[in-house]
Amino acid sequence: MKKALFLAGVLFSIVVVAVLVLRHIDDYADFWRMRETPGVRPYEEPLLIMAEGVVPVSASEAMLRASKGDDLKSPLNLQDPAAIEAGKKLYFNFCFMCHGPNHDGKGSVGQSFSPLPADLRSAKVQAFPEGVHFKEISYGVPDGRQPALATTIPVLDRWRIVAYVKSIGVRK
């Protein structure tokens, strides 16, 4: 019994000493102090003033998302052969798996979907305004399988894909 009480007293003493040491380190040490890191007190120094033109005030992702598809116009010439060729390469990098080599929605991934992805050469899809294509590529199709690619593909590259899709025309 005396041994058990002695061991309990030693264990209790070790725990008390450990707590006191940790409190001392927390109060007086110049290291291991989370509250002293810059991430916890970021506003103690005055904020820097941003140079004009650093933050976009037009054509930002938030403004593009909030705009109606019918109102969006491409900053690129959609008939430019260079834009179309770049869009073709991007299509085969990002869209081909679902929409397929014939743009019919029967790609290796898309053929397993029900319903199939859109036939990009259908009259309905080709009749969409360029801004609608851009928004569907960027933010997906509500209740559809088109994923939102805004975080994957830069804005101008999305417009290049639109140029390519518009260039393939209606299936005959």
Residues 6+ apart with CB under 8 A from 99: 91, 105, 107, 110, 117, 118, 120
Residues in the chain: 172
Supply the pLDDT for residue 109.
Answer: 87
**Separation of alpha carbons 140 and 147, rounded Å:** 5
Task: Print the domain residue range for 104.
Answer: 61-167
pLDDT of residue 41 exceeding 60, the answer is no
Supply the pLDDT for residue 130.
Answer: 93
Q: Select the more confidently predicted residue: 5 or 56.
A: 5
pLDDT of residue 36 exceeding 80, the answer is no
Task: Tell me whether residue 44 is in a domain.
Answer: no
Reported as type and span, the H/E element at residue 61 is: helix 61-66
Supply the pLDDT for residue 136.
Answer: 92
Instruction: Quote the number of domains for the chain.
Output: 2
pLDDT, one tens digit per residue, over 76-123 is 999 999 999 999 999 999 999 999 999 998 888 888 887 888 899 999
How many CB atoms are closer than 10 A to CB 87?
Answer: 26
Bond prior to 115 in cis (omega within 30° of 0): yes
- CATH number, domain containing residue 157: 1.10.760.10
Task: Tell me whether residue 50 is in a domain.
Answer: no
pLDDT of residue 24 exceeding 70, the answer is yes
Residues 32 and 94 both lie in one domain: no
Residues 92 and 158 both lie in one domain: yes
Three-state secondary structure of 54-75 = CCCCCCCHHHHHHCCHHHCCCC
pLDDT of residue 55 exceeding 80, the answer is no
Residues 67 and 151 both lie in one domain: yes
Task: Tell me whether residue 28 is in a domain.
Answer: yes
Task: Tell me whether residue 123 is in a domain.
Answer: yes
Report the b/e string of 126-165 with b at 16+ CB within 10 A: bebbbbbbbbbbbbeeeeebbeebbeebeeebbbbbbbbb
Supply the pLDDT for residue 56.
Answer: 61
Residues 99 and 147 both lie in one domain: yes
Supply the pLDDT for residue 70.
Answer: 86
Supply the pLDDT for residue 124.
Answer: 92
Task: Tell me whether residue 91 is in a domain.
Answer: yes
**Amino acid letter, residue 145:** R
pLDDT, one tens digit per residue, over 123-162 is 999 999 999 999 999 998 877 778 889 989 999 999 999 9
Residues 93 and 139 both lie in one domain: yes
Supply the pLDDT for residue 51.
Answer: 76
C-alpha closest to that of 123 among 168, 80, 156: 168
**Amino acid letter, residue 63:** M
Task: Tell me whether residue 53 is in a domain.
Answer: no
